[in-house]
Chain A
């Protein structure tokens, strides 16, 4: 994997075609087809909204709470889809790896790009909902770009790291599924972070050091309401850069592990 060769012509063609195929196959044979890319997260949101906002009456004091919630669930789905598809990519594309020679990271990237496309479609829906809800467009909307990029880099790093182990030990897929379930409750998606902050500021600060929580709060801050608590406005010591450090270390460590193990993928998969 020489750096100059990373995106040469052939690899670009491959990446494009594999991503297209992944996306097509995902919704193959369903009546509503691509519409599911939209419907699934919207339905998930409807369930969470009814349970948490209407029945449990959480989040009443947050402006535009429904969009705020939708934004959180969408970004969370993006993270879970990206990681679970990315982790399984090498195994899922084993037939290709055994028959042609190409940089193996391409299958991981193409699997995660499908999640990126889904997320971008949903982002459009969020923006429409936000406008309907009375959020006015703002230059700060542009700040969602680096936040989404950070979340993607984190997901890609996890996909490389665990995906390279998953080739030999398929247990990783199951472990990750359970882990993600647990992780969900540690991140302020369905509950507002202010609820935690009311009882313990330390707990809230620890939660905000998680890069997933940090990026989701950043996106909410820049897109929906500046009242959102973010890592940057809530933590005032040098620890504030922890999420960035975690993200970059996982990417570097993941890429190195993947590169080292990828030589044997064709034999082991």
Chain B
């Protein structure tokens, strides 16, 4: 298999005011054509000289730099490469080509409630999810009561998670997630769920992040959130940045793309 030649480096330089630097980032995925899974098909394909996959270029040379304290909204259509970019920044996917420098500790929320298991109780899930966010048992003990209070689910602590409604699960997950403290936060669409009361809590959380001058990268489809919270917008289309700058302008551009198409 071809080894990637990209690099992702984490540094901790307090004097440098750059939080994230991305240079010439490329990424492509191998998508299996017909049934290329399994040993049998792999051997058949090899014998027939078929590659068994097509290469899809998802990111085609991204360049940008995010300063500390910026609240950046990344927008773009489905399949434009936003989530792939976020996963590469988070260190989940490897950059195929290009250099990424992360300055400071980075907390990614690709999804709320990672590792939640329906067979475990609420209590057990809180500790598990906390561990995945990097909290030790002792740290979790300290914030345990606050988590349940904020989620307003105290009476369900010892119920199995499968007996929670999906809204309750999200509330619990969100309540744990906001405890995580890092220099840079990566958020992917976490706002897209929950009822009005929960939305309000999310908005308060974002407001507080903005006030604290926290560096945030938010992937979203909500132009309302972009104009309300972000200090900068980045519009990705077809794996390339087509607009980078004032959030209002980026939001307008994005909205126009759809009008144009219809």
Give residues in A with beta carbon < 8 Å to B: 9-10, 13-14, 16-18, 21, 24-25, 28-29, 95-101, 169-171, 260-261, 263-264, 266-267
| Chain B interface mostly | loop
- From B91, B94, B111, B137, A264 is in contact (CB under 8 Å) with B94
Q: Take A9-B136, A171-B39 as given contacts and tell me if A96 and B94 are in contact as well, using a CB distance cutoff of 8 Å.
A: no
Known: A17-B128, A169-B39. A100 touches B94 (CB 8 A): no
A267 x B29 contact (CB < 8 A): yes
Query: How long is the Cα–Cα vector from A25 to B93 in the complex, in angstroms?
Result: 29
Q: Is there a chain A Cβ closer than 8 Å to B170's Cβ?
A: no
Partner of A101, one of B1, B108, B135: B108
B120 and A24 form a contact (CB under 8 A)? yes
Chain A interface, >50% SS class? helix
- Within 8 Å by CB of A25, from B114, B117, B131, lies B117
Asked if residues B119 and A28 are in contact (CB atoms below 8 Å), the reply is yes
> B87: CB under 8 A from chain A?
yes
Q: Is the CB of A13 within 8 A of B108?
A: no
Contact size class for B? 20 to 34
Q: Give Cα A29 to B120, complex, Å.
A: 10
What chain A residues lie within 8 Å of B135 (beta carbons)? Answer: 13
B137 surroundings in chain A (CB, below 8 A): 13
A263 partner residues in chain B, CB cutoff 8 A: 3-4, 94
Q: Which of B29, B92, B134 contacts A99 (CB 8 A)?
A: B92
Across the A-B interface, give the 9 residue pairs with the lowest CB-CB distance, nearest first: A17-B131, A101-B91, A171-B39, A99-B114, A99-B110, A263-B94, A169-B39, A10-B134, A28-B119
Hey, which bits of chain B sit against chain A, CB under 8 A? 1, 3-4, 29, 37-40, 42, 87, 90-94, 108, 110-111, 114-115, 117, 119-120, 124, 127-128, 131-132, 134-137
Residues of A within 8 A of B108 (CB): 100-101
Contact A25 B120 (CB under 8 A): yes
A-B contact pairs, 20 of them (CB 8 A): A13-B137, A14-B132, A16-B131, A17-B132, A21-B115, A21-B117, A24-B120, A24-B124, A25-B120, A95-B115, A96-B115, A96-B132, A97-B92, A99-B92, A99-B111, A100-B108, A170-B38, A171-B38, A263-B3, A263-B94
**Complex Cα distance A9/B134, Å?**
8
A100 touches B132 (CB 8 A): yes
- Give the residues in chain A near B131, CB-CB below 8 Å: 13-14, 16-18
Q: Which residue of A lies closest to B121 (CB)?
A: A24
In whole angstroms, how far apart are the Cα atoms of A169 and B40 in the complex? Answer: 9
Expressed in whole angstroms, the Cα–Cα distance for A139 and B247 within the complex equals 74
- What is the distance, in angstroms, from B47's C-beta to the closest C-beta of chain A? 16
A266 pairs with B87, CB closer than 8 A: yes
Give the distance to chain B from A88, nearest Cβ to Cβ, in Å.
16
> Which of A10, A24, A171, A266 contacts B92 (CB under 8 A)?
A266
Besides A21-B124, A28-B119, A101-B91, 7 new A-B residue pairs in contact (Cβ under 8 A), listed by A number: A13-B131, A18-B128, A100-B108, A101-B90, A101-B108, A170-B37, A266-B93
Whether B92 lies near A100 (C-beta < 8 A) is yes
Nearest-neighbour CB distance to chain B for A36, whole angstroms, equals 16
What is the bound-complex CA distance between A18 and B130, given in angstroms?
Answer: 11
Bound together, the chains give a CA A72 to CA B179 distance in angstroms of 49
Chain A residue contacts of B120, Cβ below 8 A: 21, 24-25, 28
**B87 contacts A25, C-beta separation under 8 Å:** no
